[in-house]
Amino acid sequence: MAKKHTIDTIKAAKNSEKLVMITAYDALFAKLFSPLVDMILVGDSLNMIFAAKPDTLSASMEQMLYHTQAVCAGAPESFTIFDMPYGSYTNKKDALKNAIRVYQESYADAVKLEGGKEKCHIVSHLTKNGIAVMGHIGLLPQHVRGAGGYKVANNKDKLIEDAKALEDAGVFAIILEGVKADIAKDITASVEVPVIGIGAGKDVDGQVLVWSDMLGFFEDFKPKFVKRYLNGAKLVKEAVAAYAQEVKNGRFPTKDYSY
């Protein structure tokens, strides 16, 4: 991307181009992704992928800040979004205190939080205080235990109501996760801010994928919506196996790699 996005250019993209978003959790990969995508999300999915926890619920502000600082250091020219961890925005006061921490302790451009209408008093408190907020509706990973699993959300009227309420509360974009494509299309048409889909079909304003899923590094399971653009796990295993074998049989290092 030629120039770093702002919330205005992101909003303006709605009717002209699809928005490309990917997660990143560290400086190394953020730097690789940055010139190729519109936005980077430091998702709390890192709790599962980088910390091997069963869900996102135990991610902390400290953990998210550490990874966001790393991503921003690696990709200062990328529009970067901080995923507010579970428990960090249960009321207006805590949400603002934690969002201010994000702006003061990292270079994140925006925060994201999960929830619809029921979270709008919190969203508008943040936006009124100068915080850029991205919404997240549909399947809510932070509700996995309370909802008894990862539930695809298909209540169209409720989702449209949620999207409109978030727009009124001042979000600059909305993530829509795990929703049937035809419903996602109607939700997308119901608001003027971009709707970024994940498992929500093609008739949305952009897509987001978790980097380790789309590059094939995460092998435990593959949700239907994940397309693997690389077989990362296979490449890594072959390369490390070759290294191990060459060390064992004395073929590495040769003179070329010795002082």
Give the binding site for ligand KIV (CB under 6 A).
23, 41, 43-45, 83, 175, 177, 198, 208, 210
Residue 185 marked ligand-binding: no
Q: Which does 210 bind (CB under 5 to 8 A by kind): ligand KIV, Na ion, none?
A: ligand KIV
Return the residue matching tokens 């993209």: 13
Whichever of 23 and 185 has its CB closer to Na ion, that residue is 23
Least spacing, CB of residue 177 vs ligand KIV, in Å: 6
Residue span 18-57 as binding mask against Na ion, x where in contact by CB under 5 A, dash where not = -------------------------xx-------------
- Percentage helix, strand, coil for the chain under 3-state DSSP, each rounded to 5: 45, 15, 40
Whichever of 146 and 234 has its CB closer to ligand KIV, that residue is 146
SS3 labels along 79-121: EEEEECCCCCCCCHHHHHHHHHHHHHHCCCCEEECCECHHHHH
Among 5, 21, 29, 83, binds Na ion (CB under 5 A): 83
Q: Which does 232 bind (CB under 5 to 8 A by kind): Na ion, ligand KIV, none?
A: none
* Residue 144, amino acid: V
177 is catalytic: yes
Least spacing, CB of residue 54 vs ligand KIV, in Å: 14
Q: Is the peptide bond before 253 cis (omega within 30 degrees of 0)?
A: yes
Least spacing, CB of residue 21 vs ligand KIV, in Å: 8
What's the rounded Cα separation, in Å, for the pair 54 and 38?
A: 29
What's the rounded Cα separation, in Å, for the pair 167 and 31?
A: 31
Contact call for residues 38 and 19 (beta carbons, < 8 A): yes
Interacting span for Na ion (CB under 5 A) from 83-91, 143-151, 186-194, 220-228? 83-91
Residue 45 marked ligand-binding: yes
H-state helical runs in the chain? 7-12, 27-33, 46-49, 61-74, 92-105, 120-128, 144-147, 156-169, 181-189, 211-214, 232-248
Catalytic: which of 177, 219, 238, 246?
177
User: Which of the residues 176 through 215 are near Na ion (CB under 5 A)?
Assistant: none
What's the rounded Cα separation, in Å, for the pair 33 and 30?
A: 5
Least spacing, CB of residue 257 vs ligand KIV, in Å: 38
* Residue 77, amino acid: E
Q: Which does 109 bind (CB under 5 to 8 A by kind): Na ion, ligand KIV, none?
A: none
Active site residues: 177
